[in-house]
Structure 1
Amino acid sequence: MAAYAALLSIARSTHPNNESLFSSKAKEIVASIHDYANFLILFFQEFPHKVSRWETRIRDIAYKIEDILETFMWQRIQSHQPLHVKLDDQLKNLTVEIGLIAGEVMEERPAYKPPSSSRLLAATGNGSVIGLREDILAIKMRLCGEPSSGLQIIPIVGMGGIGKTTLARAVYDELCITNYFDVCAWVVVSQDYSPHRFRKVLLDSFKLLEKQMSGDEIGESEIALKVFQYLKRRRYLVVIDDVWDKRVWDDIRCIFPDDNNGSRIMLTTRQLDVACYPETAGDVHEMSFMNDSQSWDLLKQKVFPDSLCPPQLENVGKEIARRCAGLPLAVVLLAGVLSPVDKIQASWEEIAENVNPIVGRELEEILSLSYTYLPHHLRSCFLYVGGFLQDVNIRTSRLVRLWIAEGFLKHQNGCSKSLEDEAEEYLEDLVKRNLVMVASRKSNGKIKSCCLHDMVRDMCIKKARDVDFLHVMDGLDLPQGLMNERRISFSRFYADNILGPTFRTILCFQIQKFSSWLSELEVINC
């Protein structure tokens, strides 16, 4: 993601509006860099899952170009007169390198294909329904409340690990539901979705394939027709689990007949825009976090399924449950850690002190899917949020100003929207994707403050560090190995202790000692 942010920066620095700063010889090279940067930015936006092959090379070259250009522009502005600096000599080799990468990308530019995943059919395990009683009743009412109504989509939306599939499965497995519908089917879409496999799974579910025939031997139109004809005049329930893209509905809508007989489709997704996309979608059912009491009940049920929790473990057990911050999957993962451990207070207290590191490894793979599916123009913005303090609400006005100052917004010339409005739209998009949570809204509905779930923040910090975008420090001193960081965040620090040659941004929330070198930097007081 650091590569994308650096490309935006050099595209801005090399914009034709700045050409008066450069000599006639340098203008041609700068214009080439500008074209290459814009081409690669477009590639990042159109094919976010295909950039990993080039991302490190692009990032390193973009950083070098960025440093040369910004140093030159700073010196040019300070001197108020032309500089005798051979900028073209400094940039010549880098221009060739970025041009070669652009050529590789152009030759192998792929057609759209979502990233692969290993699953297609849902597992049928019985998940716990603690904390879901009201949700189950609400979904059942929507499934069975109007038997003569037309086909309706019931979207269930929420962040990864919050229990969307558990809720859908709990309702789907109820006897009253299976008896109410003539046909029931469950299909997991995930990120390796293809229309052919989706329809083939339905064929298999309905046992419409002849024994000697495989789904691969039937054409797309024949599969669609078989499914449509089978569902025609039947009241059906189909669960479409883990949907990531609006195009899924465009591909499959034609196979579901609407006979005004109360047929229903349940759809689970992490993304609000996907949930709202089908034209027959009803009100979105948004999942809520568990409260501390529900988290503790779930933890007890998993660790002590056939016995009572020993009294000496209750307080530390409640603390462990509280530190899961209401995320059911985190509770279940911790229960798996606690179950084989000796049921003594010291062992549980040690786990209570390390909740995030223990479940973080397991949760990261699940939560990272939401990051993987982020458009690149949102990735920098999301990773930046991880630099703020834990359990502290972030003022939108502060966050927006910092995003703008960092150059994360790709603002088009002639765009009628202000940078602030565009940044607020970015934030709303992150909220709709269930990566950022709204802490409060203004009277006009706009986001006043926001925050990250603790587990999401841990994933965010790790991703930012892995791609050399931002490093969040726990202590006061900067380790020697981090002297080449671009952005760094401290909860508090002594200003004398920190100065790196490549630092672009220092986020600090409590300065213990103010040093004179800070006066030489541009400080944004948010």
Structure 2
Amino acid sequence: MAGALGHLVKQLTRNYEAFDPFKEGDILDSKGMMTASFDDLMNYLRDMMVGYESEEVLALLKEMEGVVAKKGNLDKIIAVCEQLCNIRYNSNVEEEKAVVGFDKEIETLLDQLTATSTKQFQIISITGMAGLGKTTLARTLYSHELVKYMFDFRSWITVSQVYLKKDLLHGILSSFSNVLTDEFYEMSEHQLGEKLYRKLKGRKYLVVFDDIWDCRVWNDLKMYFPDDQTGSRVLFTSRDIGISLHIQAAKPAHILRLRTQLESWNILMKKVFRMGICPDGLVHSGRVIKRKCEGLPLAIVIASGLLKNNFSTTWWEQIAASLRSFMVSDPRQYIDSLALSYNHLPLHLRRCFLFFGAFPEDYEVPVTKLIWLWIAQGLIHESGSRNLEDVAQNFLMDLIKRSLLMISRIKSNRQVKACRIHDLLRDFCLRKSEEENYLSNNDRYEHMLLLELTKSKNY
């Protein structure tokens, strides 16, 4: 219904903008079209709110009639329509998750999952940093009507950092049966594995392992997944790009990118406005907010939570001016997700990662400079025949593969020239550094002094 309402509001907007009282000839026609649009909108709103006629709703409908009668303020019309939509649908409709900008990825992955030309069993992986939408993309594929039609069995299992093989087998098997007896829960790992193998034997199946952290998950379970040349598939999502190499995926990992500015705007509009229409008075502030999210859907979702249901120009301007301050004021919205990546780091990488908290916001760190600073801070130690620079380079690439750093510039030989960190991850570094008493004032001073000394160097 919100889509139909959005169409009516857009039609009204077009007729309103086309109406010119000083234009000769077709004034009556334009006026008639505009009046008809107003009538259609009001009739739709009255029908939509049948059964929801509270004092608030009646007041909003009366307010809308007043605005419509004066043929004025389109921003006000949009705001009232949004309020009515929220009253009508909030408790009944699950918010649609945005997969904006991934049309090409969906098409490619859907083809790999369902292609009848490839009968052998295949592993497919989706990777990228926290908050990019890996799970949402995988869920979209898993729920696609073509996927439902093509596979005899589908199963979705979320893998935690610390997992039990038996729990994973229970989870997969439970997708294939509505009734599980006590005997099922008393089975050993080996018995469960055999049961799963027999269940899948000769069938075409899809099993999704969401958010895996270690290739050992697949190594523990792969013996129970038969390859009967039926076109079966296993789909992994992970923050670690390197995992797809260890699990022998059929294709290179699908590394999700940050969203473009246009895609970010579309996501923000989809999250904030049910009709997807932004009032003109909020567009400028909205575009500033969109740019500051740096293409990360997690940041866009947090920003949309701050904006939703508050269409005050002053409020949007405040958010646009101090978005980061508003976002980090409630770290519960993102800290747990980012902490998972940090907790999975080996100790030697944790301090190297936290070191990024000392750089300014949006700072592109030249790799050569970063390596010098890591070495100067005593974070790098020689390993076997490798020198300090080689060890530091390996640490850097490991952090990139784990989707904690973003490559910002590449040399002509395809090596990384400069990297950066997203603002939310930088804030996490600062919080974790304070918690662990890392980067004290003296360390910060020494670090920034070294930074100044290396500014004149070419990189």
Q: Same fold (TM over 0.5)?
A: yes
Q: Distance in 2 between matches of 1:298 and 1:460?
A: 27
Identity %: 36
The residue that corresponds to 1:352 in the other structure is 320
1:266 equivalenced with 2:222 (yes/no): no
Amino acid in the other structure paired with 1:192: V
Structure 2: 5+ residue stretches without partners: 1-93
SS at match of 1:426: helix
Q: Distance in 1 between matches of 2:95 and 2:242?
A: 29
1:133 equivalenced with 2:133 (yes/no): no
The structure-2 alpha-carbon separation of the partners of 1:510 and 1:203, relative to structure 1 and needing over 3 Å to count, comes to closer
Match of 1:488 among 395, 420, 444: 444
The residue that corresponds to 1:201 in the other structure is 171
Q: Distance in 2 between matches of 1:427 and 1:510?
A: 18
Q: Distance in 2 between matches of 1:167 and 1:297?
A: 16
Q: Distance in 1 between matches of 2:242 and 2:412?
A: 23
Amino acid in the other structure paired with 1:317: G
The structure-2 alpha-carbon separation of the partners of 1:294 and 1:148, relative to structure 1 and needing over 3 Å to count, comes to closer
The RMSD of aligned alpha carbons is: 2.1
The residue that corresponds to 2:148 in the other structure is 178
Q: Deviations over 1:256-296 (max 9, x none)?
A: 11111211111000001222211244211010111111111
Q: Deviations over 1:370-396 (max 9, x none)?
A: 111111101111111221222221111
SS at match of 1:206: coil
Q: Distance in 2 between matches of 1:157 and 1:445?
A: 21
Q: Distance in 2 between matches of 1:206 and 1:383?
A: 44
Q: Distance in 2 between matches of 1:436 and 1:328?
A: 16
1:144-155 to 2 correspondence within 5 Å? 144-155=114-125
1:507 equivalenced with 2:441 (yes/no): no
The residue that corresponds to 1:432 in the other structure is 401
1:104-503 to 2 correspondence within 5 Å? 126-207=96-177, 210-215=180-185, 217-306=186-275, 308-341=277-310, 343-360=311-328, 361=331, 362-412=333-383, 415-470=384-439, 485-488=441-444
Amino acid in the other structure paired with 2:378: G
The residue that corresponds to 1:77 in the other structure is none
The structure-2 alpha-carbon separation of the partners of 1:422 and 1:146, relative to structure 1 and needing over 3 Å to count, comes to farther
What is the count of residue pairs matched by the alignment? Answer: 360
The structure-2 alpha-carbon separation of the partners of 1:348 and 1:262, relative to structure 1 and needing over 3 Å to count, comes to same
TM-score (structure 2 length as normaliser) = 0.74
How much does 1:346 deviate? Answer: 0.4
CA contact (8 A) 2:269 2:276 kept: no
Q: Deviations over 1:306-362 (max 9, x none)?
A: 362211001101111111110112111221221132x12101111122322333311
Q: Deviations over 1:487-514 (max 9, x none)?
A: 115xxxxxxxxxxxxxxx2414897xxx
The residue that corresponds to 2:39 in the other structure is none
How much does 1:486 deviate? Answer: 4.2
CA contact (8 A) 1:393 1:451 kept: yes
Q: Which gives a bigger RCO, structure 1 or 2 (Cα 8 Å, sep 6+)?
A: 2
How much does 1:125 deviate? Answer: 7.7
How much does 1:210 deviate? Answer: 4.3
TM-score (structure 1 length as normaliser) = 0.65
Structure 1: 5+ residue stretches without partners: 1-123, 472-484, 490-504, 512-522
The structure-2 alpha-carbon separation of the partners of 1:313 and 1:208, relative to structure 1 and needing over 3 Å to count, comes to closer
CA contact (8 A) 2:125 2:249 kept: no
Q: Distance in 2 between matches of 1:396 and 1:442?
A: 11
The structure-2 alpha-carbon separation of the partners of 1:149 and 1:312, relative to structure 1 and needing over 3 Å to count, comes to same
Q: Deviations over 1:387-434 (max 9, x none)?
A: 12222211111111111122212324xx22111111101100000001
Q: Distance in 1 between matches of 2:415 and 2:180?
A: 56
How much does 1:209 deviate? Answer: 6.0
The residue that corresponds to 1:119 in the other structure is none
How much does 1:435 deviate? Answer: 0.6
Q: Deviations over 1:37-79 (max 9, x none)?
A: xxxxxxxxxxxxxxxxxxxxxxxxxxxxxxxxxxxxxxxxxxx
CA contact (8 A) 1:127 1:170 kept: no
CA contact (8 A) 2:357 2:429 kept: yes
Q: Distance in 1 between matches of 2:96 and 2:205?
A: 22
